[in-house]
Amino acid sequence: MEALVAEHISKSYPGSEHPALDNVSLSIQQGDIVGILGPNGAGKTTLISIICGLIRADSGKVFVMGEPNSSPQTKYTLGVVPQEYALYFDMTPQENLRYFGKMWGIPGKLLQERIDMLLQVLGLENVKNKKLKTFSGGMKRRINLAASILNNPKVLILDEPTVGVDVQSRAAIIDYLKKLNREQGTTIIYTSHLLAEAQELCNQVRIIEQGKLLETGSPDELIQKYEAANLEEVFLKLTGKTIRN
């Protein structure tokens, strides 16, 4: 079953010489881990923002688990980890997660069980009662992830989830994403500049540049197709051939 289908998505911003997205279509199968890769300004964040319903496309359609992304049902099947922190820094991890859990309507006992589990597996149990404003960037990103998966989404979208984080936080985030996919079948879509990480984590990638979809396939397929040593070499062969002013 297709977890996500995007059909002919186009988006332009006022004053921009080029479209942010130009007739992009893609499909993602349920249970896949897919990396959406591209240089700065390629359209990655615009694409996932449209998928999540945060901004509107100029044209095209998006379906999540068979439903239009505008459907009220989608908010219960889709989890989003934005690049910017969506947290309250004057609150503790427990307070943040209780707040978001109540927004989802998760019953009190079940909510506390999920909070305790997430804090433990993400290595934050010892700081659960400290205010987030005292945390490192990596610790905040782990809480950002926890807040987005409280409701057990079937499709999880992450925008640069490990950018600028410490080694321990990166390992905790990647390990838990693998666990979610392996044990719950969660479909994971994420953007990243870290090509080695994408090669390790993803079973599928989509490479975009200047708002156009350039290539799709598994890392191994693309490495073989372009006679490359690794995914980073594939990326360099495909992108950066033209520079926007």
The full set of domain ranges for the chain reads 2-238
Burial degree of 178 (CB within 10 A; 0-12, 13-18, 19+): middle
Predicted pLDDT at 226: 95
Predicted pLDDT at 111: 94
Q: Supply the mean pLDDT for the chain.
A: 90
**68: β partners:** 63
- The per-residue pLDDT for range 2-60, each reduced to its tens digit, is 999 999 999 999 988 889 999 999 999 999 999 999 988 899 999 999 999 889 999 99
Q: Residue 202 and residue 178: Cα distance in Å, rounded? A: 9
Quick one: pLDDT band at residue 124, thresholds 50, 70, 90?
Answer: confident
* Length of the chain counted residue by residue: 245
**Superfamily, domain 2-238:** P-loop containing nucleotide triphosphate hydrolases (3.40.50.300)
Average confidence (pLDDT) over 176-181: 92
Predicted pLDDT at 243: 38
Q: How many CA atoms lie within 13 A of 78 on its CB side?
A: 29
pTM reported for the whole predicted model:
0.89
3-state secondary structure labels for all residues of 39-50: CCCCCHHHHHHH
- The per-residue pLDDT for range 45-94, each reduced to its tens digit, is 999 999 998 899 999 999 999 999 988 888 789 988 887 788 889 999 99
Decide: helix, strand or coil at residue 160.
coil
Q: Residue 79 and residue 2: Cα distance in Å, rounded? A: 16
Q: How many of the other CB atoms lie within 10 Å of CB of 146?
A: 24
CA distances from 127 to 91, 112, 135, 139, 224 (A): 12, 16, 9, 10, 45
Element (H, E) at 115: helix 108-121
